[in-house]
Amino acid sequence: MRILIGGVPFGRDNVGDEAILACQVGILREACPGAELTVSTDDGERTATKLGVRTVELFGFAPPWTKARLEEELARHDLFYWGGATGLSDYPHIPLSILDAAIQRGLRTVLFGVGMNDELNPVHARLLPGKRRTLLRAMSKLTLGRRDWVAAWEQRREQRIRASIARLLNSVDLAVLRDPESYTQVILSGARPRPHLLVGADPAVLLPSAPWKDTLWPVQVLDALHRSGRRIGFCISAQREVADTAGLVRLLDRLVEAGERTLFLIPMNPVTDAELMAGLHARMRHKARAVVVSGRYEPEEIQALAAKMDVVVSSRLHLLILAANNHVPIVGISRGSKVDYFLKPYGLTAAGTVEACDFTALAAEIERLLDGRAAFEEQSRRVRHELLGRLDLTRAALGGLMKEMGG
């Protein structure tokens, strides 16, 4: 059996996406041990070497790819496997177009661990500044406020996107949503509750940590790890930065002022996040008490480092997941509802959003969890048991589909 894994911008310096991919490959090898796995990625050589898979170019995302090449690859495969992330709301047109092409070619199709926020990405669902928006705003003024033509256009646009999501999810052979909230969103979009539509978990909860003896870190990181006192891991996404950077820098200084503490700025994108956090570090008054974890690392290595923290704060979902895999207390800053969805089973709420971060509440939550790790770990073990249970059920469903296909 030949399986094409895609629909996610793999190979684009996103540690979270690579964590998902590594776990998806493991899930598929368990479900169909003899399958030939092909990954659509922008980092083919590294991916092939690490995971032992065949690789092809990254379909759907720039830089340029051709529809002819996509069709060629679909023609040589039996199944298209949309491999996770939050693409149903973040960039729905890309994986949906690949999924549609696969269905039209007669391939079997699977979504596994895919998430959907409660709002679509404004880039795709909102009318951005331009001639059309100017015209529709002018039309709205002519109605003396009785009709908002911009809002009407955006509503129709969102309805079309959600209708496409529903149509294709009703056609796939198996759809495993990442969490109950994502399931609710696809039902609200019009997908039918059917046996093929299930709730699982993010595949990254299966990620193993790299053995610490096999990890290689810069001298400054190792020196920081040898200091006494508490360790606070911190990540801010460069995709959507915290708006009040001055307030954020004051918070970072405040965290290390109290007692013996070291701040580890852990990028989940070794390029963009690292640049952003190096800039924050440069503005701190207490730079010596913080370190930027520079360099490129595998997800398993980042998870091993996260396990060394006493608390992890992040606007990146997958750093929260990697920390929680080791029952390290987590504090989320909301960057789309996916962070809120993940925090909910732990009885936690985000300390504001990247647009309006509540630094007072954020500091208070960090202090609370630094002193309450035992209670968090007890709850974390219960949550992990539930997540793994959901994954077991959905992996069994995937195995059943493979057997039906003769894998």
- Cα separation of 108 and 407, whole Å? 12
The amino acid occupying position 201 is: A
The amino acid occupying position 41 is: T
Task: Please report, for residues 18, 170, 206, 374, 390, the alpha-carbon distance to residue 23 in angstroms, rounded to integers and kept in the order given.
Answer: 9, 26, 6, 28, 15
pLDDT at 137: 75
Residue 332: φ, ψ to 5°: -105, 145
pLDDT for 56 beyond 80: yes
C-alpha 345 chain-centroid distance: 17
Q: Which of 20, 326, 343, 383 is nearest to 203 (CA)?
A: 20
Residue 166: φ, ψ to 5°: -65, -45
Give the chain's domains with CATH numbers. 2-207+386-405 (3.40.50.2000), 212-324+330-371 (3.40.50.2000)
pLDDT at 157: 86
Which pair of structure tokens corresponds to residue 117?
């926020």
In percent, the amount of the chain with pLDDT more than 70 equals 99
pLDDT for 144 beyond 80: no
Prediction pTM value: 0.94
pLDDT at 215: 96
- Cα separation of 150 and 136, whole Å? 6
Which pair of structure tokens corresponds to residue 175?
């759809």
Which pair of structure tokens corresponds to residue 375?
């209670």
pLDDT digits (tens, 9 = 90+) for 71-105: 999 999 999 999 999 999 999 999 999 999 999 99
Q: What average pLDDT does this structure show over 28-46?
A: 97
The amino acid occupying position 327 is: H
Cβ 182 vs Cβ 197: under 8 Å: no
pLDDT digits (tens, 9 = 90+) for 309-338: 999 999 999 999 999 999 999 999 998 899
Helices (H), ranges, 217-357: 219-225, 245-257, 272-283, 299-306, 317-324, 337-343
